[in-house]
Amino acid sequence: MTLVLEDLQIPGYERVVALTDPSVALKGIIAIHSTDLGPSLGGIRMYPYTSFDDALTDVLRLSKGMTLKSALSQCGTGGGKSVIIGDPAIHKTEALFHSFGRAVDKMMGQYICAEDVGITPQDVNIIHETTKYVVGLHKEKSSGNPAPYTAWGTFRGIQAGLKQVYGTDSVDGRTIAIQGLGSVGMTLAEILFWQGARLIVADVNPQRVQQAQAKFGAQVVPVSEIHTAACDVFAPCALGAVFDDRSIPELRCRIIAGCANNQLLEERHARSLKNRAILYAPDFVINAGGLLNVSVELDKEGYDPHISRQKVDGIYDQLLTIFDISGKSDVSTHEAALSLAEYRLKYHIGKRAEQIAFDHVGAEV
């Protein structure tokens, strides 16, 4: 065994662990931000970070975002995330995932993992071979790929934004620009198409944009220009830090509602959006569909897709509440969401009352 876990002392985080296993070329980090409302749950991101510090910055932001997302969705989990440093196209091996699974297992349930950017449900099935602390598996009593639920939650968030701005939540005839056509973005595009929306799309993968153009009649624009498209709704569905001092003045939308994490480069940019009368659906609210879905796996009754769908539909009302707080308090929607999340964390609103159940994993581990 060459797996080494090194605890890093990071103020404001319950536990941050650096993972190394030179025998399988594993370098990664597990970050647990908070377990106040339940064990931390968050995806595994595999990405070719240029440095360990870049990976650390990303996992810290992501795990804190999961705490906020969990608090607002009231799913009974805390905030955690993990990253594996490497190119998912060339560095994936069963041995690497087995070693990562052993690292998760050493956390003794403090951290429960799932798929995220660069990781597939098939990959988490391999990780599950060395730990039971996994959700989103392709097997009975588990929910599989959470992307459809994330996409549905994003759609419901778009509807909430339309309701707030236009007085109706219908997307029929609305122009929606989607930045990123991964598994969530493409599913969202399909939902919007069948609901009558006109689509503008951009992605680094030319096959993805060609698919959207052929199936949905989408207008294709370069990735560097998608944020400048004239539209009712701009939906960032790729990587984060989309909105900054350069991009915000170039926006030509009324609403921002997408599933990407950490869309604001800095929190102050939410106020910049408000000053431009652009309604922003906070990312850690609108993209909670996948989390809500996999959290149902941990209920003692077992996974039920009908319960998942019902919980994801709640994103609509959650956002309308945040929009209302923002308007009445004259704060940005981001600030309104943070205030609501902090209130729930302080008073343990939504704390898991029952023990986590892992019936979906059986006795295989």
> Which residues are marked as active site?
81
Query: Is the separation of the CB atoms in 337 and 319 below 8 Å?
Result: no
Cα 102 to Cα 239: distance, rounded to the nearest angstrom? 28
Name the residue with tokens 């650390």: 56
Say how many residues make up the chain: 365
Query: Is the separation of the CB atoms in 190 and 214 below 8 Å?
Result: no
Under 8 Å CB-to-CB from 78, ≥6 apart: which residues? 32, 33, 34, 35, 36, 37, 38, 39, 40, 41, 66, 67, 70
Cα 162 to Cα 181: distance, rounded to the nearest angstrom? 22
Cα 27 to Cα 20: distance, rounded to the nearest angstrom? 5
Of the candidates 239, 60, 41, 49, the one whose C-alpha atom is nearest the C-alpha of residue 143 is 41
Of the candidates 251, 313, 315, the one whose C-alpha atom is nearest the C-alpha of residue 279 is 251
Type of residue numbered 100 = F
- Intra-chain end-to-end CA distance of the chain, in Å: 18
Of the candidates 178, 115, 127, 172, the one whose C-alpha atom is nearest the C-alpha of residue 19 is 127
What six digits make up the tokens of 351?
């704390």
> Cα–chain-centroid distance for residue 243?
17
Cα 259 to Cα 312: distance, rounded to the nearest angstrom? 13
Helix (H) or strand (E) holding 101: helix 94-106
**What would the DSSP string read from start to end of 46-78?**
EE--SSHHHHHHHHHHHHHHHHHHHHHHT-S-E
Cα 284 to Cα 15: distance, rounded to the nearest angstrom? 21
Query: Is the separation of the CB atoms in 169 and 195 below 8 Å?
Result: no
